Amino acid sequence: MIVKSLNLINFRNYRRLNLDVGPSVNIIYGFNAQGKTNIIEAINVCSCLASHRTAKEKELITLNENEFEISMELFDPYDNSDTSLYYAYYTENSSLNKSSAPKRVIKQDSIQINKIANYMGICNTVIFAPEDLNLIKGSPSIRRKFFNLLISKVSPSYFGLISNYSRLLAQKNSTIKSFKGNTPNDMALDYWDYPLADVSAEIILYRYRYSKLLSISASKHHSNISDNKEELDISLSTISGSVDVINNFFKENDYLTSFIEGKAPEAIYARIKGILSEYLYSKFKSTRQMDCERGITGIGVHRDDIDILLNGLNMKSFSSQGQQRSAALSLKLAELDIISSTCKTAPILLLDDVFSELDQNRRVSLLSGMVNAQIFITCTERKYIENELKELISDKSDIRYFHVEKGIVTPED
């Protein structure tokens, strides 16, 4: 997809913004705290309904307002067609909201979409930002969010699984709390554990597959960035024993490669899903007493993580900031690879003030092969980025400049 125009109402420091952009490279520059990042954040939020800076939609609303709206006019070069996306969030105090609770509205071509899974993947973005270092050193929830968004972009049905799991988990926890620490009622918990095991098995199989794809791609990029001096490895950390169940199955059936490529026969997928689901049910059942004593489900895919190892050591504990920056970049480049190879068009590339953070080798790695994609770059100095782009981007690229000062965006020649 290519963004043709971006329209904002009450988003961050923009009460109103109507911006036409170019199909190739768009440079958004100006001093800090003027609203540059807010523009590419809006593009990212409208594309995948998530911000790279906050998990609270209310924080995206302009001060003293009660709602925000983002709309984008898009062009799809794959089938030479236009489409539009719309995303609005209304607080309970908004005059546009008839409900007593906060409300989200998403649309494509002015038609409301009721399921988020049907919205994901229409327009894909990959964003690089200083916050990406948290992928390495931050909490598991940050890596889960990254992983969940990546998989949802290329397999929108996965988002439905996550939503279903969250609903089942909340209902199970409510049942557990009703026991008030007493002996659990097996029949009551079976009602939730059977479907939880089934959904969890699907989620783990998705995450297992994409952790393999992520590791293969990220390790190649990291090897190039480090001149083959460092080896990056990524693996899924989930309910204990689950990965062993999957590995043992594929050792016996020799379908691992086809599974990772998404080409395994349906019968094979159904068998491993059934085996894993039975195993997970047994794990849930074995922890019931402990869950009731604690008043909450202790194990589950809601606690999953991605283990990121550099030369065999966990990077969260054993890595320098430079190594973390390289690994974060490798992860993002791997995300770019996976989306580009899976979807019909390249994702939109959003670069939020990252050039000053990267050396020449990393900058080349970042922009290599992206001359055919639409790119948005924020920076503080036009002259600096002009010099950088001469070396990194094809002369054929249509580069457009936008100066931002106090929330006013001015196109420049």
Q: How confident is the model at residue 130 (pLDDT cuts 50, 70, 90)?
A: confident
Other C-beta atoms closer than 10 Å to the C-beta of 238 total: 23
**CA–CA dist 168, 191 (Å, integer):** 10
Q: Give pLDDT, residue 369.
A: 53
Q: How confident is the model at residue 365 (pLDDT cuts 50, 70, 90)?
A: confident
For residue 217 the two structure tokens come to 């791609």
Q: How confident is the model at residue 373 (pLDDT cuts 50, 70, 90)?
A: confident
Q: Per mean pLDDT, which range of 224-228, 337-341, 377-381, 390-394 is the poorest?
A: 390-394
Dihedrals phi, psi of 22, to nearest 5 degrees: -90, 160
- Local structure of 198: helix, strand or coil: helix
Q: What is the mean pLDDT of the chain?
A: 92
Q: Which residues contact 253 (CB under 8 A, 6 or more apart)?
A: 268, 271
Q: How confident is the model at residue 387 (pLDDT cuts 50, 70, 90)?
A: confident
